[in-house]
Structures are given as structure tokens and as C-alpha cells.
């Protein structure tokens, strides 16, 4: 397979950085266009040793997915694969700034769809979140809308050969704003702040997420939402992984937060196919023959695999170099 030309929105984020490194190491990229609005993060990304040694393959474009004209110009580079990672993600911030979130996560997604179609991009893969499944917060609602825009782009593309798919996964271990970096900081304090003792979450590391996206790029045919089979953890077990005898202070859930997360709701069951390492959700109008039970749901509290405190401790040690604090 020849090296391809990649375009990554939100290209200076933690996931994008991991993906760029993997594309370089696997010699999959002829060219990588990093599209982001933060010139300082672009500068920091260039300082990475592997990236600095491969700057002949990487181009840095300043721009925002809200700005269609800039996005459209940047896409005039014979792009084979567009990976859309740009989004406003922090739940409390998105609750407080609703229309700013809509402008990035919804209008920005539509700009990506139209830019890809206008420039004949071959494949578009958008990153989603477990919060897009049966959403109760604005972030989840905007990402659900974004998912629909990408999947249903096939209904408006006419003779254009661009294909669109989505990847949906859970909490990234150690990502900015997640519990692990917070708990690691609180290890030196008198207590750990926990929102709710019953809380569970899905877990995936940055390298695992990047590898899953690369596999989806190879397998996508269009109109799929790919969902990896990943383990869950109990929030109290994360605390115990850091301190076996913790002093815990319950502070209550934040606005828009769930006790448990879902990646596939029972209403999706009739349009879901199960494979060995992942699920695929199809749009309901595809009329597929599902191979999961009617009423099936994939939720963090009913998962078949939970990480123990010892396993969580090992995960933290293994992937600590990818954490954003």
C-alpha cells in the first residue's frame, strides 16, 4: 500500500500527536497536514524528536474548522484521508458556552463534510465519544449531531466517491481533564475528591485509540460507527490503584455528567453488528440483520471486563508518558 496524504483537524491535540507518530513509524504517510488554531501547540509539536526528524512530510496550517474558506483552501492538497478530531470537549465548559460548542462541534463538522466533498477527499473518519450515545449534556448532543452529519453525508454526496465513517470510544486514560492526572496530583493531599462512588467509565489508552483508528481506516466502507471492545473501571478502583487506603471526599456529579457511560444504546441494537474486537452501528435506513440480542446495550457498568486496581496501576505506569496534565 502506497503512503497516503493525511489531513488532521485538531492536529495538535494529544490524540492527533499520537496518531502522527504512529503514521510516521509505520511509514504510512507521504504527507501529513496538521490543521489547528493554536500556533503555540504547533510549535511544541515540532519540538517532538520524531516529528522534528520528519518535517519534510508534515505541513502546519493555522485554521479553525469554523472557517469554511480557510478549511477549503487547506484541503486543496490531494488529500487521501481526513481525520476529524477538532472539538470542544470539556463538559462543564460546553454547558456554560453552548453556542460556542455548537459552532465548533456541529457547524465545524458540516464544514469538514462540505470541504471533503468539494476537494474529493477519499476517506473521512471522524472521532466521536461515548457521551454521544443517549446524551444528557450539550457536548454529547453536539457530537451525536456531528455523527449524524458524517454518516448521512452519503445521502448528499451524489456521484462523489468520498466515504465517511465515525469512531466512538470512551475515556482516554490520562487525557487532559480526566480523573487519573487529578488523582495523581491529589495523592499528596489529605483526600481524593470523588463525584459519586458508583461511577464507572470505559477506558482506552492513547496508543490503543490511535491503533484502532488506523484499523478502522483500513476497514471502513462508509456509514459505519466503529465502537471498540474495551474494559471499564470503577472510579473507586482508580483511587485505590493510586492509594490502596484512600481518604475520599464525595463532591457530587458535575453538570451534564452521567454515573455510567454508554457507547451503544438498546435503541441501537437492531442496527448493530458485533465482531471479535469491535462493534459497528449502521444508520437505521440500512436495514441490516443485527447479530446482537434485541435490547442489547454496551454500557460501562454492565461491561464483561473490568480493570482491577492492580491492572489500573499497571496501565497508569505503562501509559504515563502520554498523560496531559
Which residues are bridge partners to 319 per DSSP? none
Is the CB of residue 132 less than 8 Å from the CB of residue 202?
A: no
Segment (H or E) for 11: none
Which one of the listed residues 17, 41, 131, 143 is annotated catalytic?
131
Task: Report the distance separating Cα 188 and Cα 207, nearest Å.
Answer: 28
Cα distance between residue 46 and residue 263, in whole Å: 34
249 flagged as catalytic:
no
Q: Contact at 8 Å (CB) between 87 and 128?
A: no
In angstroms, the CA 104 to CA 101 distance is 5
Closest by CA to 35, choosing from 80, 81, 84, is 84
Neighbours of 225 (CB within 10 A): 26
What do you get for the CA distance between the two ends of the chain, in Å?
37
228 burial via Cβ count (<10 Å: 0-12, 13-18, 19+)? buried
Residues marked active site are found at 131
Amino acid at each position: 500500500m502506497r503512503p497516503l496524504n493525511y489531513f488532521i483537524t485538531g492536529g495538535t491535540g494529544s490524540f492527533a500527536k499520537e496518531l502522527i507518530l504512529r503514521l510516521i513509524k509505520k511509514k504510512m504517510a507521504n504527507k501529513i497536514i496538521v490543521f489547528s488554531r493554536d500556533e503555540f501547540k504547533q510549535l511544541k509539536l515540532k519540538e517532538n524528536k520524531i516529528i522534528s526528524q520528519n518535517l519534510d512530510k508534515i505541513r502546519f496550517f493555522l485554521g479553525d474548522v469554523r472557517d469554511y474558506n480557510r478549511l477549503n483552501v487547506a484541503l486543496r492538497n490531494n488529500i487521501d484521508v481526513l481525520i476529524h478530531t477538532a472539538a470542544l470537549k470539556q463538559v462543564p465548559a460546553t454547558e456554560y458556552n453552548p453556542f460556542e460548542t455548537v459552532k465548533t462541534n456541529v457547524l465545524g463538522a458540516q464544514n469538514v463534510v462540505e470541504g471533503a466533498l468539494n476537494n474529493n477527499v477519499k476517506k473521512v473518519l471522524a472521532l466521536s465519544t461515548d457521551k454521544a450515545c443517549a446524551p444528557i449534556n450539550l457536548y454529547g448532543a453536539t457530537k451525536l449531531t456531528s455523527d449524524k452529519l458524517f454518516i448521512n453525508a452519503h445521502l448528499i454526496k451524489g456521484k462523489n466517491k468520498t466515504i465517511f465513517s465515525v469512531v466512538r470510544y470512551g475515556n482516554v486514560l490520562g487525557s487532559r481533564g480526566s480523573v487519573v492526572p487529578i488523582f495523581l496530583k491529589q495523592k499528596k493531599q489529605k483526600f481524593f475528591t470523588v463525584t459519586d462512588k458508583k461511577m464507572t467509565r470505559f477506558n482506552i489508552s492513547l496508543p490503543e485509540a490511535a491503533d484502532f483508528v488506523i484499523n478502522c481506516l483500513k476497514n471502513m466502507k462508509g456509514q459505519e460507527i466503529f465502537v471498540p471492545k474495551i474494559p471499564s473501571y470503577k472510579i473507586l478502583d482508580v483511587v485505590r490503584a493510586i492509594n490502596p487506603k484512600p481518604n475520599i471526599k464525595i463532591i457530587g456529579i458535575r453538570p451534564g455528567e452521567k454515573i455510567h457511560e454508554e457507547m451503544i444504546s438498546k435503541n441501537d441494537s437492531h442496527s448493530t453488528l458485533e465482531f471479535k474486537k469491535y462493534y459497528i452501528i449502521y444508520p437505521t435506513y440500512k436495514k441490516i440483520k443485527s447479530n446482537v440480542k434485541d435490547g442489547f446495550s454496551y454500557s460501562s457498568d454492565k461491561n464483561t471486563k473490568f480493570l482491577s486496581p492492580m491492572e489500573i496501576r499497571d496501565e497508569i505506569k505503562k501509559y504515563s508518558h502520554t498523560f496531559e496534565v
